[in-house]
Structure 1
Amino acid sequence: MIRCVGGIAHDPDGRLLLVRRANPPGEGLWSIPGGRVEQGESDVDAVEREFLEETGLSVTVGRWVGTVTRPAARGRYEIHDYACQVRSGVLRAGDDAADARWVTGAILTTLCLTEGLHEALAGWGQLPRG
């Protein structure tokens, strides 16, 4: 298993923050910010790092929301997703992200999402509220 993390953030209007992946896996697809946990790094540190790299935003990492597994080129990704609150920064796509934006539920239905993302977010009660 390859340990990964993701950060789920909503703005005050209930919109969900998504990034469009610039690189494999998931190139061109929309997902929540996240990535691999580096050796010696905690999940919280990894979420903070990935969020900043991909969106330009600093977050406070909150409670664990859920875990999903996805196929990887060698093995499987085990992705641990956490609720996040934006502290500071200006939203911009960076690092592995081709785009980053806050989305409403209506916009979410028009985007090509990474496999299983909509179902996981719905099951965890984390779809956009706005």
Structure 2
Amino acid sequence: MSESFPRPASSAILERDGRFLLIRRINPPSADLFAFPGGRGEPGETAAETAVREFFEETGIPVTDPELFATYDLKTESHDGAVLSHFFLSVFLVKADATTQALAADDAADAGWYTVDEIRTLPVPPSVLDCVERLAARPAKG
């Protein structure tokens, strides 16, 4: 079944001491890739609400203060050009209690904290690499 319009999805970036929390996805379209916690929006949910809910479902960490950081139009097509999946992804920066530990759950096989250099060597979606490169290029807060 091809979809002609994008479905909403959100993910969230949590950074601690120069490391980013990534989960390894179990399900398509990003199975076995490392990504920011996130997923599909539910009816009536804002993009920010999706990011907060999905982050908690996949890591067990309650997050707050979602701030929109980036958006991506993600389309997966078959070899004959048929659209297999199409998502409009909203990526948020979030905050959390620094002592809370991540526990992989839901669509996450495992969770870990990675530096930008480590992320560059992992199998990640292009949107994840784009976000961490943009964050790494930001001037340090003084």
- The TM-score normalised by the length of structure 2 is 0.79
Match of 1:42 among 43, 46, 52: 46
The Cα shift of 1:115 comes to 3.3
Give the counterpart letter for 1:47 in structure 2.
A
Q: Distance in 2 between matches of 1:4 and 1:55?
A: 17
Question: Which residue number corresponds to residue 81 of structure 1?
Answer: 91
- In the alignment, structure 2 segments of 5+ residues that lack a partner are 1-5, 77-82
Could you tell me the percent identity over the aligned residues?
A: 32
Cα displacement string for residues 59-81 of structure 1 (whole angstroms, at most 9, x for unaligned residues) = 01332101011114545210011
Q: Distance in 1 between matches of 2:14 and 2:38?
A: 12
Question: Which residue number corresponds to residue 90 of structure 1?
Answer: 101
Aligned pair 1:107/2:118, yes or no? yes
Bigger Rg, which one: 2
- In the alignment, structure 1 segments of 5+ residues that lack a partner are none
**Do the aligned residues in 1 keep the contact of 2:116 with 2:132 (CA within 8 Å)?**
no
The Cα shift of 1:35 comes to 0.7
Deviates more, 1:72-81 or 1:17-26: 72-81
Match of 2:26 among 22, 25, 47: 22
RMSD between superposed Cα atoms in Å = 2.0
The Cα shift of 1:3 comes to 0.7
**Do the aligned residues in 2 keep the contact of 1:47 with 1:61 (CA within 8 Å)?**
no
Match of 2:61 among 36, 45, 57: 57
Give the counterpart letter for 2:119 in structure 1.
L
Question: Which residue number corresponds to residue 8 of structure 2?
Answer: 3
Count of matched residue pairs: 126
Change (3 A) 1:106 1:74: closer
**Do the aligned residues in 1 keep the contact of 2:25 with 2:32 (CA within 8 Å)?**
yes
